Structure 1
């Protein structure tokens, strides 16, 4: 297997709680067959049809939230009670994961998150917590 492909996957996974979107790998020039070989060999685990987890990476709550956010599309962010929980506010739970997507993806299948689609979501209203 190509070490460059593994390095690209590792780079994304290190910044995203062990998960990576297939679209990110495509954009980085990784071919679908290279990804498929890693899924078949068990080096990558399919979380959703659109999101993969590096084998051995923890499937903890942050990984699930990141996977749900990536699954909802490139412009999705954690929102609602999930965002409050991520910020550590008492009385809120991360799951089920709620995300807001400026424009929800249109490809195959439903999302693993509850997806909200606002009319407007300015960048000034966005922030990151724990890389999510």
Structure 2
């Protein structure tokens, strides 16, 4: 493919062509490099469309198939595509999706596995890490942390000076830490007793 040839849907293999507009609609016009390559784009083709101003690079390996300002759903899709295959919305963004907080302009907050290479890219995305991601995530659309875990994340993000980070080395230790932080937050009146963090109530008693 010539370096500056304008790409069109006709370049997509015929059997894949019907799914291209569906993909763009579902992801609000945002795709990652892997998806572009799957639909027939070479690296040179991607760069040519970026240089020509037809597309825009939103985050590393993430592109918008349009120019101009991204909508909130497009920003969320960009953050999720950037985070990788096991990423969820978390903290303030998850709270907004749950209806716990009003939607405001700001970075999208995501949580990724502890071993992920993704890092925060202000002002668009803030990256958090968790060793217990399978236990705190829920398969909504878009995926996010469970409501109780979202509340805990919000409470612990507002630590007072007497609070100290609790180190952990395994998912079970992190789960126990989340249970204790939930109890502390409830006892201090910082959140209502809506239930313990997911996956911990049956594992740790009030005496822990």
TM-score by length of 1: 0.74
Q: Secondary structure at the match of 2:73?
A: helix
Question: Which structure has the greater CA radius of gyration?
Answer: 2
Q: How many residues align?
A: 130
State the SS of the aligned residue for 1:46.
strand
Change in 2 beyond 3 A, CA 1:115/1:29: same
| Greater RCO, 1 or 2 (C-alpha within 8 Å, sep 6+) | 1
1:75-106 superposed Cα distances (whole Å, 9 cap, x missing partner):
22111120110232234647321101124236
Helix, strand or coil at the partner of 1:43: coil
Query: Aligned ranges for residues 1-132 of structure 1 at < 5 Å?
Result: 1-2=7-8, 3-5=10-12, 7=17, 10-27=21-38, 30-55=41-66, 59-91=70-102, 93=104, 95-102=106-113, 103-105=115-117, 110-111=120-121, 112-122=124-134, 125-129=137-141
Q: Deviations over 1:26-76 (max 9, x none)?
A: 355532112122222332111123211111586111111211221222322
What's the C-alpha RMSD, in Å, of the aligned pairs? 3.2
TM-score of the aligned structures, taking structure 2 as reference length: 0.51
Unpaired stretches in structure 1, ≥5 consecutive residues: none
SS at the partner of 2:111? strand
For residue 150 of structure 2, what is the aligned residue in structure 1? none
The verdict on how the C-alpha distance between 1:131 and 1:10 changes in structure 2, with shifts beyond 3 A counting, is farther
**SS across alignment from 1:42:** coil
What secondary structure sits across from 2:127 in the alignment? Answer: strand
Query: How far has the Cα of 1:110 moved from its partner?
Result: 4.9
- Given that residues 69 and 113 in structure 1 are in contact (C-alpha distance below 8 angstroms), is that contact kept between their aligned partners in structure 2? no
Residues 11, 58 of structure 1: CA spacing in aligned structure 2 closer, same or farther, 3 A cutoff?
farther
Q: Specify the SS of the correspondent of 2:96.
A: helix
Give ranges in structure 2 of 5+ residues lacking alignment. 1-6, 145-208
Distance in 1, matches of 2:127 and 2:133, equals 14
